[in-house]
Amino acid sequence: MFSYDELTSPERELWNAFPEGRAVSLRADGPEDDRVVEGGRWGPERTVRASVIAALMLGARSGQPGAVPCLRLAGARIAGPLDLAGAQLAYALWLEECWFEEAVNLLGATTQTLVFKGCRVPGIEAGAARIEGNLDLGRSIVESGAPSHFHHRVTALSLTNSRVTGGVILNRAELNAPGGWALAGGGLVMEGGLFCRPGFVARGEVRLPGAQLPGGLYMNGARLEEPSPRGLALNLENCVTSTVVLSSGFVANGTVELRGARISAGLSLAGAVLNGPPGGNGPSLSASLMQAVDFDFTLARPPSGAVDLRGAQVSYLRDGERSWPDVVELDGFGYGAIRGDEAGGRPEAAGRRNSVARRVAWIRRSPGYNPQPYEQLASWYRKAGHDDEARRVLLARQRHRRRTLPPAARAWGHLLDVTVGYGYRPWLAGVWLLALTLLGTLSFGGHSPKPVQQGQGAPFQPLVYTLDLLIPIGGLGQRAAWYWPEEGLQWLAYLLIAFGWILTTAVIAGVTRALQKN
């Protein structure tokens, strides 16, 4: 316990102000002398020992009747470590534009609202803490210290397994732990939102796996740099939250990890820049098994690395021409509707054809062949009432699959494609039948065949004879009654018979395949 005589002049001023919750400012008159980054030069007239602050927060002075005790201090140099680990703090702590010599330790503490606004702090350990109110680090610079109690990696701000009944405010703050963890918040449970809005910079991984953020995560305009060795800039793996806003100039120089995240409302990356890990060793967005309602992926420019959406489920997908990189993993990705550049309202037929071409090209950015992305896209077109576009997608699926087959199967696939479009374009069979009918009628019409049996059979009709050759089932009484002395015409007859069988087989196989798949 301190005696009053042991306190310095700034400490006595703070001691006297605490019971009434009055603010104490040790700021200098000149703005140049008040820059927090120069706090190491501040002299005794602006220095307060951290142990004095700890003593006040732990009840060294009681409050005055009719007043709410609170420690409010601005423009001070805090000497020594502020160690409140495991403490039960009944008062709010409000420090503004203060320069800390050593790290702040709130490990396992129970506190009221904590404000470190515009401060410079060499690390904050608040793992397993319970904060009844807000944690406000707006405009502060938090540097990495030694590895924390919970982590082997250097960490600037640790909120691992902490509980916050209010919000965490990091607007315009800087968390510096290059190659380490700028924010370690695995298992963080909050009732309010986590705000890292414009001006927020994290050098190191922002790590929130398994966090519960019902108030949402807002990082619009934030910049994430110098990721961890795994290449992660933002880790929201298995996070449960209402909203994730990574928009309006959000920049991630590392992977944004959303694997298994459950987002009850929207995920927005409108106007974001996803650069991926340095050197391109990893995806720009990893969101496999993610669940979200509204997924806005209208980026400012295409990501430099791959996008992994395998097994993700969203109700609405909004994208644009700059949304997708060269590699997109889409196997198992499900969506209820697409709201892309070409998908608004009820587009005209030409626009829908262009839409199909763009969407098929999108699917083919996925490595290898997987039928599910095609079937998902076709399902969406069918639900929108565009059956023709759905059939185009399914035809594109068969053409993609054909590339994976052995040579004989590929040859049969080409035949099905040319004749009936794998059953999705049955009208092609009619075109072939009409063309072959015209060929036979014109070829046979200028010549006279020989009867098989003299004086028997129906008179020769070129059109009926050609149809009899092309239709393999049944008969029209012409094919068996006549033959050609000219070798060329006889071979043409044989070819028409063969084409008839091939066309009929292709129609049956293609239509059966289409009916089975749909």
Q: How far apart are CA 183 and CA 381, in angstroms?
A: 43
- State the average pLDDT over residues 99-106: 96
- State the average pLDDT over residues 113-139: 97
CA distances from 371 to 346, 348, 513 (A): 26, 27, 14
Give the residue among 210, 219, 220, 192 at the shortest CA–CA distance from 262.
Answer: 210
pLDDT band at 421 (very low <50, low <70, confident <90, very high): confident
pLDDT at 481 over 50: yes
CA 122 to chain centre: 33
- State the average pLDDT over residues 3-28: 93
pLDDT at 146 over 80: no
Tokens of 147: 């590895």
b vs e for 23-49, b when ≥16 Cβ sit within 10 Å of the residue's Cβ? ebebeeeeeeebebeebeebeeebbbb
- State the average pLDDT over residues 461-465: 78
Ranges 89-98, 147-156, 296-305: which has the least confidence: 147-156
Candidate ranges 150-159, 205-214, 274-283, 473-482; pick with highest mean pLDDT? 205-214
Q: What is the pLDDT of residues 183-230, one digit of tens each?
A: 999 999 999 999 999 899 999 999 999 999 999 999 999 999 999 999
- State the average pLDDT over residues 139-145: 91
pTM for this entry? 0.83
Tokens of 9: 């002049």
Candidate ranges 43-57, 141-155, 450-464, 490-504; pick with highest mean pLDDT? 43-57
pLDDT at 72 over 60: yes
Q: What is the pLDDT of residues 330-358, one digit of tens each?
A: 999 999 999 875 544 444 555 566 789 99
Q: How far apart are CA 171 and CA 492, in angstroms?
A: 81
Cβ atoms of residues 225 and 253 within 8 Å: yes
- pLDDT more than 90, % of the chain: 63
Helix (H) or strand (E) holding 212: strand 212-213
Q: How far apart are CA 259 and CA 239, in angstroms?
A: 9
pLDDT score for 4:
85
- Mention every residue, 6+ apart, whose C-beta is less than 8 A from residue 428: 418, 419, 420, 421
pLDDT score for 152:
65
Q: What does residue 434 show for φ and ψ, rounded to 5 degrees?
A: -65, -45
273 forms beta bridges with 251
pLDDT band at 30 (very low <50, low <70, confident <90, very high): low
Give the residue among 20, 80, 24, 28 at the shortest CA–CA distance from 54.
Answer: 80
Tell me the one-letter amino acid at 424.
Answer: Y
pLDDT at 94 over 50: yes
Cβ atoms of residues 134 and 111 within 8 Å: no
pLDDT at 116 over 70: yes
Greater confidence, 150 or 438?
438
For residue 43, the 8-state DSSP code is -
Pairing relation of β-strands 482-483 and 450-451?
antiparallel
Cβ atoms of residues 160 and 187 within 8 Å: yes
Ranges 56-60, 150-154, 306-310, 360-364: which has the least confidence: 150-154
- State the average pLDDT over residues 12-37: 88
Q: How far apart are CA 93 and CA 1, in angstroms?
A: 20
Cβ atoms of residues 209 and 261 within 8 Å: no
- Mention every residue, 6+ apart, whose C-beta is less than 8 A from residue 343: 355
Helix (H) or strand (E) holding 496: helix 487-517
Give the residue among 66, 63, 162, 153 at the shortest CA–CA distance from 106.
Answer: 162
Q: How far apart are CA 314 and CA 420, in angstroms?
A: 35
Ranges 25-29, 228-232, 306-310, 345-349: which has the least confidence: 345-349
Give the residue among 177, 299, 187 at the shortest CA–CA distance from 228.
Answer: 177
Tokens of 3: 């005696």
3-class secondary-structure state, position 357: helix
Q: How far apart are CA 108 and CA 84, in angstroms?
A: 9
Q: What is the pLDDT of residues 354-392, one digit of tens each?
A: 789 999 999 999 999 999 999 999 999 999 889 889 989
pLDDT score for 162:
98
Q: What does residue 209 show for φ and ψ, rounded to 5 degrees?
A: -65, 135
